[in-house]
A and B are shown apart, each in its own frame.
Chain A
Amino acid sequence: MESALVIGSGIAGMSSAVELAGKGVKVQLFSPFPSERSQSVMAAGGINAVLKGHEEGDSIASHIEDTLKGGRYIAGERAVRGLCEGAEDIIDHLEKIGTVFSVNESGRPDRRAFGGQSHKRTCYCGASTGKQIVSALIMEVRRFEAKGIIERKLWRFFHSALIKDGVCYGALLFNEITGKLEAYCADAVIIATGGQNKLFGKTTGSTQCDGYAAARLFMQGAKLKNLEFIQYHPTAMETYQKKMLISEAVRGEGGRLFYCEGENRVYFMEEKYGSGGNLMTRDVISREIDAVKKDVFLDISFLGRKEIERRIPEVKDTCLKYRGIDICNEPIPISPAVHFFMGGLAVHLNHETNIRNLFAIGECASMYHGANRLGGNSLLAAIYGGRVAAGEISGRRVERESINYADILEHENERLDMLRQSKSSFPVNYIRDMVADTMNRDLGIVRNREALERGISDIDYYLSVADRISYDSSVLMYANYSLKGILTLAKATLISAEFRKESRGSHFRSDYPKESKDYEASSIISYNDGKFDVCLDKESVYES
């Protein structure tokens, strides 16, 4: 193929753009804001890879097994194999383009231990791995921009895809500067728009990621997968503006979780799971904190100021800056917060959705992580997925079919004009806040049928008024037109969670607390004119 649209310019989007450009495919790279604002810069921990000179006993097979086990055996084995086998080449490439890794004595990327992994294999760049990779990739994109192979377009928000008879021909983007919809056609379209954080209001991630692109494509016929699997990070600190992530490194350094009973501290994780209790996986700790129903704290003060400043300076700074807490003397008040979405657009091994020539990569695609993601695998999957999609697109023959988009553009512009005229007692921001309240209440760490059905009923009500909201000219047009898609995605997520009548990975049902063989497969949900259909992908149609 000769041309592609890449929508989203975080690490996944930039990786695919660079790979495509390197193979001579012309790329238009769209995003509302520059890559420096993408959620990718917030990925602190690292990127997994079994490199030459690995820890004794480690192997690619071990990385594969850790990933499959972490995902409770519903991720595609072939997909995970490709990911883990491709990891070393990705690290080599990142080094080559100048990523500033933390290095060992021989000048190669250093590695640290990460939760859920049997060996030390997480390459890192201090406490800002994502940011350092973003900086390097921006330069690579710039190299191809100068050659005219990549064209970056800012202030463009995804609106919808141009689809005819199950084939994608391009996309409509809303230009917030001109206030107009623009149509772009290309041989292939790659969606790289991140996870659906905003469904839950305040999370540990970026405010820019809301899941709308996946939602709109779902309404246009794309299938979604594993939406019920949402990773809660157990240790986030509440601030006025967001839930601030407190790194797993604090527990790695010996941090102890407790709650107070009168004057006494109850170290509930150690009492239940023994000395390693504080290092249990994210889903287990989140559930235990949820069950305590009391204020929970994380204490690392016993490590002493000198060691804290040496080993976890960023955590010390964050707590002091945002809550005035000196972790050398006092514990950190924590609670679990939504952190990562394993679910998203259903894709095949080549990252193509069920719509031909429409691809999805990064967090908006559901691949590799199954029912729970390992730390250090998301950056790897973002880059690997971008490469796979690019390889497929560049190797595919151009199809000379086209679409007459003039009518679609006119129709969608009319709809936006109608939206601009709309007045009612339902302001768009009010409904967005209500959706977040519903999702946090009914799709929390522990779910049950009653709560999920209540959530579905609430979202149904908001959907019934979504076409007659009060247009708010003081927020982005995007915030107005994206509402219906976001509500539809919220409903699809609740339905998927209700459908899975078992507990697996990050999905825990108090009414079905056991993992069940009957559900050892991904869930797939589709949409047809207001109707939602969900089933299990027992034949492994996707991710294979």
Chain B
Amino acid sequence: MRVRILRQQTSLSESYWENFRVDVPKDMTVAGLLDHINFNDDIIDENGNKTTRIGWECSCLQGICGACAMVINDIPALACETFIKDLKKDEITIRPLRKFPVIHDLIVDRSVIHENLKKINLYIGEYHPVKAKNLKKAEKEHRQQYDVAKCLKCGICLEVCPNYVNGNSFFGALFANECYLVSSRNETEKKEILKNYEKHFGNTCSKSFSCMDLCPMKIQTIASVAGLNKNSFHN
């Protein structure tokens, strides 16, 4: 199997493609594949030339930390839960997420995500939940809050979003979900949050919701948006 990897030695150097030939089981993940290439003492490319180890980020290796987000065969995904057998082509192309600055090979700097959340100063502070009308609704809200708090901040929703460019003004789905979580668990914060939500998400989102198709935690951003719009209406 041929593996093409877009590499970049430092944040300032040029990127280039490097190809590898590997023979690995199909039920291995892309994380396992990268480990396999890196495991040898000498790393050899497809032409038999010695090269350097491939830089990539990982921590949990089981889909709950978001470190290994990258673009695999043109689709942003977590390497640790993308299986070779599920990839349609015989050739695998791997590149870093495109909407974040590259630090080294497949490692990108996603600090804009945290900087934007910090800028808006989103936090629950005191638990003052919005009172649901009935038990069923309360359970539904609780489920959505639980799901949203599982957000990995991996950046995949931003990578796939047609509206997200660089995080200067539009902050993307993870921001909308965070707004929902905070406003639903602390009613007193709602007004200020809604203002920022409109400015940095609501007014720009074209509702393609491609973010939901690829979210590793399957967060239903549309439900968060509905919750926030409902709050908007009440105000």
Residues of A within 8 A of B (CB): 33-34, 36-39, 41-42, 95-98, 100, 103, 125-126, 128, 131-132, 135-136, 139-140, 142-143, 145-146, 152, 154, 177, 206-208, 239-242, 244, 318, 321-324, 427, 429-430, 433, 472-475
Contact = CB atoms under 8 A, between A and B. Distances in A.
B48 interface: no
B62 A97 contact: no
Contact of A318 (B36, B62, B154): B62
B61 interface: yes
A96 B59 contact: no
B156 interface: no
B149 interface: yes
B10 to A, nearest CB: 9
A207 B57 CA distance: 10
Contacts of B55: 474-475
Contacts of B25: 240
Contact of A143 (B61, B125, B145): B125
A142 B146 contact: no
A236 to B, nearest CB: 11
B66 interface: yes
B212 interface: no
B66 A37 contact: yes
Contacts of B54: 474
B92 interface: no
B125 A97 contact: yes
A98 B185 contact: yes
Nearest to A321: B81
B150 A131 contact: yes
Given A36-B152, A42-B64, A324-B27, A240 B32 contact: yes
Contact of A37 (B11, B65, B118, B146): B65
B153 A34 contact: yes
Contacts of A39: 59-60
A518 to B, nearest CB: 41
Task: List the 6 closest pairs (A to B, CB-CB), nearest first.
Answer: A98-B124, A474-B52, A240-B32, A474-B53, A139-B123, A146-B121
Contacts of A474: 43, 52-55
A241 B186 CA distance: 40
B174 to A, nearest CB: 11
B127 A97 contact: yes
Contacts of B58: 207
A418 to B, nearest CB: 21
Contact of A33 (B28, B52, B59, B127): B59
B149 A241 contact: no
B182 interface: yes
Contacts, number: 133
A107 to B, nearest CB: 9
A241 B65 CA distance: 15
A174 to B, nearest CB: 15
15 contacts: A33-B59, A34-B110, A37-B65, A37-B66, A97-B124, A98-B125, A131-B150, A135-B149, A142-B122, A146-B118, A206-B60, A207-B61, A240-B29, A241-B29, A322-B62
A172 to B, nearest CB: 21
Contacts of A37: 57, 59-60, 65-67
Interface in B33-63: 35-36, 38-39, 41, 43, 52-55, 57-62
Contacts of A324: 27
Given A100-B145, A242-B61, A142 B80 contact: no
A96 B129 CA distance: 10
Contacts of A473: 52
Contact of A142 (B36, B121, B185): B121
Nearest to B27: A324
B41 A139 contact: no
Interface of B: 11, 25, 27-29, 31-32, 35-36, 38-39, 41, 43, 52-55, 57-62, 64-67, 80-81, 103, 110-111, 114, 117-118, 121-127, 142, 145-146, 149-154, 181-182, 185-186
A474 B7 CA distance: 12
Nearest to B43: A474
Given A145-B118, A324-B27, A128 B150 contact: yes
B37 to A, nearest CB: 11
A135 B145 CA distance: 11
Contacts of A41: 60, 64-65
B64 A128 contact: yes
Contacts of A103: 142
Contacts of A100: 142, 145-146, 149, 185
Contact of A208 (B35, B59, B111, B127): B59
A38 B152 CA distance: 11
A135 B41 CA distance: 39
Given A36-B66, A131-B64, A143-B123, A240 B114 contact: no
B14 to A, nearest CB: 17
B127 A95 contact: yes
Nearest to B28: A240
Contacts of B11: 177
Given A240-B25, A474-B52, A139 B61 contact: no
B54 to A, nearest CB: 8
A242 B62 contact: yes
A36 B152 CA distance: 6
Given A95-B127, A139-B124, A318-B62, A34 B114 contact: yes
Given A96-B126, A132-B146, A142 B118 contact: yes
A433 B41 CA distance: 11
A23 to B, nearest CB: 17
A126 B146 contact: yes
B35 to A, nearest CB: 6
A90 B121 CA distance: 24
B11 to A, nearest CB: 8
A302 B151 CA distance: 34
A140 B185 CA distance: 14
B78 to A, nearest CB: 12
A126 B66 CA distance: 19
A143 B149 contact: no
A321 B151 CA distance: 20
A307 B176 CA distance: 35
Contact of A430 (B41, B64, B127, B152): B41
* B64, B80, B122, B182, most chain A CB atoms within 10 A: B64
B101 to A, nearest CB: 10
A216 B64 CA distance: 29
Contacts of A132: 146, 149-150
A142 B35 contact: no
Nearest to A97: B124
A11 to B, nearest CB: 14
Contacts of A206: 59-60, 65
A202 to B, nearest CB: 9
